[in-house]
Chain A
Amino acid sequence: MNLFEPFQFAFFRNGIIVAVLAGAICGLIGVYVVLRQMSYIGHGLSHSIFGGAAASAVLSVNFYLGAGLWGLLSALMIGRVARRGKIGSDAAIGVITTASFAMGLALSNLFGQAKRSIDAVLFGSILGVGGTDVLAVLGAGVLSVVVIYACYRHLLFATFDPEVANVSGVNVARMEALLMLMLAITILFTMKVMGVLLISAMLVTPAATARMMTNSFARMLTIAPIIGALCGFTGMLVSYHIDVSPGATIILMASTVFLGVFTVTGSRGRRNVAGLGHH
């Protein structure tokens, strides 16, 4: 078996570029997702976007346009329902995003011809990745790096201590909106390879692994994208050779790395990762 045989195919070369970039972006944004306890929002947003992706496939509308608008609409609805105050934002996310996901499934059942592209959105695919997707993910990656570079101190302050950040002149609401926007863009532009059902794991696992390896925020921000990119690369290779959807193999790679680091770092790593989400 020639390990690098798939590189002769253009679709695979596109796919692996997207997977490496997607892994790195998910790792990068995942640091904020994990430390701000936004995992459930990421999970919900990806499910919500699935409804838009399914509708786009059925109506033959551009995937990024349809799914993106749908995601934006869902986020606005979540905000509106949560502001009513009767139910918490977690319940609002649960209601709206699962309704959107159910609509995607219904469309999938009703319109059989769209089933293949809907399956690809659910579980990830390397076959449908073209030059436009490479450019889109590259753009999302550049945007994420530029935003994090430009707003590094504000994002860090707003993430660690929002109340004091606000008093110290940081526009915390703007930083939160920026993070939500980056999260939505990351999900939208990487879900073709990762798949809706598994992308939230990629937003959490590399960042949680990096947390076990370091006590420095700056180093965590460097380690998590490297882990994500490596898992994207190896996961795609394994996906091709064993003919399993890339979302699954990439996440399995990330889970294996997590388990390895969890074992090697011992009680220190376990304490760090157990502390995520607990003050």
Chain B
Amino acid sequence: MIELFNGALTLNRQLMLGLREAPDTIQRGFLLILLVGVLVGGVNGISNLLSTATPEQALENFRRELETQIDQLVLTSNDPNMAEVTRVINENKEPFFALINDIQLLPTALPRPAGQLFQLLATTISSPLSYLSSMLLAAVATHIVARRLNGQGSLQQMIGLSSLSVAPHALDALAFIPGLGGTITLIAWAWGLVVLIVATSIAHRIDSSRATMAVLFIPLLMVVLIGLACCLLLVFAGVLAGANPV
């Protein structure tokens, strides 16, 4: 499994060719996703556990996140009523945090550490499924376009090889580092994209340019369609506003 993981990260073509012809290609691919998902989920779960170890810490984290969001809202908004909104928020903030604290301190049948342990396990076990879900959507979308571009691979081969694109997401385990989380996630995503392009090229026996087109076609189409839908909505809203002037 470690060999498969390293091979995916280093874009090892021999390893990918072997995986394409292996009868258990999907099983090995899913095991790789399980490995990466459990690693990332486990680290994130422990990070969450440490930051919410006591009710006071949990409340402090919640307070910090909410205040950051409020600051961003105040800075980015052009609404003339923002001063009134800020006044209401400031007046209600402390009673609201007191309410959250009271709810946290309510007794439960099992002690608080049991709930925290469940949360840790849930984060650990849910991460592989989240990665699997994203990978399946990407693999199916890519497979449909690749077949139109004369690709020869089967759906099973495509899914098995696409699983390798999850390997760089092991970097997501470092996303808890303050200030670096976004950059690390972006690097993992870009690296995963490159692995997916190479995997598509090998699974379907097509050149890299076609594989790139197969991978990017549906996401780009979606972006264009969403853009067009937004434009139409704006035009429609403009027409409505013109028809009913205030």
Q: Say whether A associates with B.
A: no
> What residues make up the interface of A, taking CB atoms closer than 8 Å to B?
none
> What residues make up the interface of B, taking CB atoms closer than 8 Å to A?
none
